[in-house]
Amino acid sequence: MMKVRRPRGTNDILPAETSNWQLIEAKIREICYRFGYQEIRTPIFEHTELFQRGIGETTDIVEKEMYTFLDRGRRSITLRPEGTASVVRAFIENKLYAAPLPAKLYYLGPMFRYEKPQAGRYRQFYQFGVEAIGSLDPVLDVEMIMLPIELYKECGLSNFDVHINSLGCPECRPQYRQALQERFMQIKDRFCKNCQARITRNPLRVLDCKSTKCQELAEGIPLITEYLCQECRTHFEQVIEYLNQLNMDYVLDPKLVRGFDYYTKTVFEIIVPTLGAQNAIGGGGRYDGLVEEIGGESLPAVGFAVGLDRLMLSLNQQDASVFPQINPEVYIAHFGGATKKMAVSLINELRKTGLWIEMDYLDRSLRAQMKSADRLNCNWVIIIGEDELAANAVKIRRMDTGSEDEVGMDAVIEYLMKHREENSNK
């Protein structure tokens, strides 16, 4: 029989890891609550057109990375490659603009891009994202930077850098773009192959080419910040002022460009330098034209997304101790005669305390059961043998010290609660 394996670029997240994911997800919900963002759940697939219009026809994502197929009604459907377009669509479709603005929303879940997999880059990956729709206030831009940073910090991540830039707006960016293009065109053949293509397609990208040759050629080139229109300039200055006021660390990075067409004004990216090539664990920016583009009225908006797989990678890389070890509280060992029946009754009672209780399901020797309890890192083992059965009592063993008490059946919960308390007070 042929072995069925998981599709390329997908991952099984196993029990050893899921508890970590749950912890991060809980942290996300907690922080969103404090910042006043509420969860929105949109479909995992949408009409293809949404992403074509939203993300931009000429972006890599739309050109070659979408999971697109025809459904049985011959509609073109696409698995979502990012979250913003869907959120904006849902915002318009459900008329959330009738509620007080800005709408403050967050989402959490899988995204899909048909890419060649690498560490930190998968075909199904997980993002947490936040969007604030309906305000131009630079305070929101700053909030979008603070929120993910808060998440990273509370997860115990320390070595990351925040890069920010402004990409201008439809007023000023085209002028800069043209200026760059004209300048580069004169010396086009001296650039690397990639950059020669970039010059016609997206000249801003030439600026962050990794080739030192291109870096040198691009030296002394005017920066976008010098081309910003008055409105964009003021907006950017205010963002920076607020960041300073709040003592946030950041790097002004005039070469920062992002991949979606919809970004305007503020863009930012959060980098973990030790992560390798896929080192951005979060990023976002303002998208003042997108709501209108998707068919709503003209409303400014700003948002970000965090790559949870990459966050998990960097946490494991640095210090996995942020994740508490979880283990059963009690293991019930039984052997012989009717002791199993007693164990079943006892486990049923003990579980009402809310603690994690385990027992032996394989009718193994006491020795084997002790070994299991040890491997599971149980704090206590309750031993029920024939003698205990006869005395209507159990032995309760502390696994760390090895000390053991005989306790009457009626007093087991009381005994455990009392000694757990003493232990945690130490």
Residues lying near RNA in the complex (CB under 7 A): 5, 8-9, 59-61, 64, 82, 113, 115-122, 125, 127, 194, 198, 202, 205, 209-210, 257-260, 269, 276-283, 305-307, 309-310, 335-336, 362, 364-368, 370-375, 381, 383, 385-388, 395, 397, 399-402, 404
Give the up-direction half-sphere exposure of residue 232: CA atoms within 13 A in the CB hemisphere: 23
DSSP string, 142-156: HHHHHHHHHHHHHHT
Taking the complex as a whole, the smallest distance from the CB of residue 231 to RNA amounts, in Å, to 24
Residue 340 contacts residue 326 (beta carbons within 8 Å): no
Taking the complex as a whole, the smallest distance from the CB of residue 234 to RNA amounts, in Å, to 26
Cα 237 to Cα 27, 241, 348, distances in angstroms: 31, 6, 63
Taking the complex as a whole, the smallest distance from the CB of residue 77 to RNA amounts, in Å, to 20
DSSP string, 217-258: HTTTPPPGGGT--HHHHHHHHHHHHHHHHTT---EE-TT---
DSSP string, 284-316: EEE-TTHHHHTTS----EEEEEEEHHHHHHHHH
Residue 44 contacts residue 87 (beta carbons within 8 Å): no
Which residue, 282 or 328, is less far from RNA as judged by CB?
282
Task: Please tell me what DSSP assigns to residue 3.
Answer: P
Question: Quick one: 116 exposed, middle or buried, by C-beta within 10 A (0-12, 13-18, 19+)?
Answer: exposed
Taking the complex as a whole, the smallest distance from the CB of residue 136 to RNA amounts, in Å, to 21
Which residue, 97 or 415, is less far from RNA as judged by CB?
415
H or E element that contains 50: helix 48-55
Taking the complex as a whole, the smallest distance from the CB of residue 58 to RNA amounts, in Å, to 10
Which residue, 133 or 167, is less far from RNA as judged by CB?
167
Tokens of 171: 């007023």
Taking the complex as a whole, the smallest distance from the CB of residue 390 to RNA amounts, in Å, to 8
Which residue, 218 or 373, is less far from RNA as judged by CB?
373
Which residue, 80 or 310, is less far from RNA as judged by CB?
310
Rg (CA), the chain: 28
Which residue, 97 or 356, is less far from RNA as judged by CB?
356
Taking the complex as a whole, the smallest distance from the CB of residue 180 to RNA amounts, in Å, to 14
Residue 326 contacts residue 19 (beta carbons within 8 Å): yes
Which residue, 91 or 122, is less far from RNA as judged by CB?
122
How much of the chain is in helix, strand and coil states, percent to nearest 5? 45, 20, 35
CA 224 – CA 165 distance, rounded (Å): 9
Which residue, 8 or 75, is less far from RNA as judged by CB?
8
- φ, ψ at 104 (rounded to 5°): -115, 110
Which residue, 150 or 231, is less far from RNA as judged by CB?
150
Taking the complex as a whole, the smallest distance from the CB of residue 73 to RNA amounts, in Å, to 28
Taking the complex as a whole, the smallest distance from the CB of residue 365 to RNA amounts, in Å, to 4
